[in-house]
Structure 1
Amino acid sequence: MSRRTEQHPDPTDPRIGAPFFSTWRVGTPERQRQTVEAIGRTWERRPWPTRDLLGYHVYAGQDGSTLMHYSQWTGEQAYESFVKAHRQERVDEIDTAVPGIERVELGRYQHYRSRERAVGDRRVPGLIVTVRVDFEGRAEARREEWVDLVLKAVDGDPQGHAGLMSAHFHLSTDGGHVLNYAEWESAEAYEGVLAAPSTDSWERVRTYPGLQGVTGSRYEHALGLVPD
């Protein structure tokens, strides 16, 4: 069966072969809450669809309008099998409870590198930030080098990034962008980093050749579902 968990997911789990991130637009904070409740009810009353789904987490956007979904699959084929056998009945039940949900995008990724939590760090993230970085053309090699530069810049400023608990960089399978899923201690810690003066390392990150656009979003963990 499906059960709820308060524990945040571990994007570095070596069993994950296909991490998926998707966005729903629901319109208002009240509809965010209603949709999260509907997702929880829908999944809890059904058996867990497959052991190849390691976890499914939903996040409420601080914009008051969106939900982000993060699902951890052992491989893309497992997801495709779920779509054929189990997805539609869940979608129908959720849409009946909260009509008018707009399913904006499903992104397929491969995990590339992480700045993992320090050993013994048991803090609960107060803020989840995703940053999507688009590149010109199909720039797989550039994406990896850019991520390496980011991690080098973070490691070079440990005091300034003390509120950053972890950062997990994913490469889109279409070759176009990078998605960073980051756990922050608090919104204040994140704001402090944004307001800090730039450094040479961060200028190299920001002016990297082929960089096309950057989009950041802020979330709170709203629902975690795992197999019982």
Structure 2
Amino acid sequence: MSYVSADPVRVVLDDPRSAAVLVTTLATRGPDDTRRTAEQAVADALRGPWPEGLLSLTVYTSSDDDSVLTYAQWATEDQLPPPGGPAEAGTVSRAFRHYRAVRGTAVEEPAPVPESFPAAFFPTESEQAARAWLDGLLAGEERSEGEDRAYPGAIAAHLHIAVDGGQVLSFSEWVAEGPAVDHIEAVWAPVLKDFGGTGTLYRHHRTLLPGSTATSL
């Protein structure tokens, strides 16, 4: 059983107030475990006082029901939570900076509420190398696909570089899952294969903002 959120709130992924994003992925086993893990992430965030500097926390569930992704925007890098003890098996966290946003032109304005979120991670050697690779990738896409990026259903692609320079994250917003899957198969699958990346398709579960409470969910 898949879960589709009825919550219309979506985080602004290129919020200029956000200096860093903490992205965590948690491995899950099937629909029930994925749903429980996502709801536990929300409950954990609401259990204590809202942390100073935390602008938003969004929880996503994978379309294959094998992982949950949390995307936490922070006002400054200094306010990121310190590393805790050893991570649980299947849990990976990394801090990123939002680098570039690329808008699609085939959806109406204002853009509709996104429902599908492809995420792709790629290893990189340094921040400088990551910037050069992303800029080259986008330039190549413009030459082959066109500058307007009029992909049906594409709202935006948000490109991130890890604070430690060791990884790139592409996190995209799409109107629906069908067009996102078509684009992945046509454009992103070769990139993932050629550059050793990993990709997962996510759905929105819940976005929490300052002032969120359990009774408001």
Taking the aligned partners of 2:100 and 2:126, their CA distance within structure 1 comes to 17
Report the count of equivalent residues: 197
The secondary structure found in structure 2 opposite 1:188 is helix
**Which residue of structure 2 aligns with residue 225 of structure 1?**
208
The secondary structure found in structure 2 opposite 1:77 is helix
Q: Following TM superposition, by how much is the alpha carbon of 1:195 offset from its aligned partner in structure 2, in angstroms?
A: 4.3
**Which residue of structure 1 aligns with residue 178 of structure 2?**
188
Is residue 2:196 matched to residue 1:213? yes
**Which residue of structure 1 aligns with residue 99 of structure 2?**
112
Taking the aligned partners of 2:60 and 2:16, their CA distance within structure 1 comes to 23
The secondary structure found in structure 1 opposite 2:80 is helix
Which deviates further from its counterpart, 117-126 or 164-173?
117-126
Change (3 A) 1:79 1:195: closer
- For 1:72-91, list aligned pairs within 5 A: 72-80=73-81
For normalisation by structure 2, the TM-score amounts to 0.77
Q: Following TM superposition, by how much is the alpha carbon of 1:134 offset from its aligned partner in structure 2, in angstroms?
A: 1.7
- For 1:66-77, list aligned pairs within 5 A: 66-77=67-78
Taking the aligned partners of 1:184 and 1:111, their CA distance within structure 2 comes to 18
Query: Which amino acid counterpart does residue 43 of structure 2 have in structure 1?
Result: R
- For 1:32-47, list aligned pairs within 5 A: 32-47=34-49
Taking the aligned partners of 1:108 and 1:33, their CA distance within structure 2 comes to 24
Q: Following TM superposition, by how much is the alpha carbon of 1:120 offset from its aligned partner in structure 2, in angstroms?
A: 2.5
Taking the aligned partners of 1:43 and 1:195, their CA distance within structure 2 comes to 35
Taking the aligned partners of 1:42 and 1:144, their CA distance within structure 2 comes to 35
Identity %: 27
Query: Which amino acid counterpart does residue 115 of structure 1 have in structure 2?
Result: V
List 4+ stretches of structure 1 deviating above 6 A.
none
Query: Which amino acid counterpart does residue 125 of structure 1 have in structure 2?
Result: P
Would you say the 8 A contact 2:130–2:167 is kept in 1? yes
Taking the aligned partners of 1:7 and 1:182, their CA distance within structure 2 comes to 16
**Which residue of structure 1 aligns with residue 119 of structure 2?**
130
**Which residue of structure 1 aligns with residue 215 of structure 2?**
none
**Which residue of structure 2 aligns with residue 94 of structure 1?**
none
In structure 1, stretches of 5+ residues that fail to align are 89-100
**Which residue of structure 2 aligns with residue 30 of structure 1?**
32
Would you say the 8 A contact 1:26–1:102 is kept in 2? no
The correspondence for 2:153, drawn from 163, 166, 171, is 163
Q: Following TM superposition, by how much is the alpha carbon of 1:168 offset from its aligned partner in structure 2, in angstroms?
A: 0.7
Provide, for residues 179-226 of structure 1, a one-character-per-residue CA deviation record: whole Å limited to 9, x for no partner: 011011222212332444x7xxx9xx959xxx7411111100101111
**Which residue of structure 2 aligns with residue 97 of structure 1?**
none
In structure 2, stretches of 5+ residues that fail to align are 1-6, 212-217
Please report the RMSD computed on the Cα atoms of aligned residues, expressed in angstroms.
3.0
For normalisation by structure 1, the TM-score amounts to 0.74
**Which residue of structure 1 aligns with residue 22 of structure 2?**
20
Task: Look at both structures and tell me which one has the larger radius of gyration over its CA atoms.
Answer: 1
Taking the aligned partners of 2:56 and 2:18, their CA distance within structure 1 comes to 10
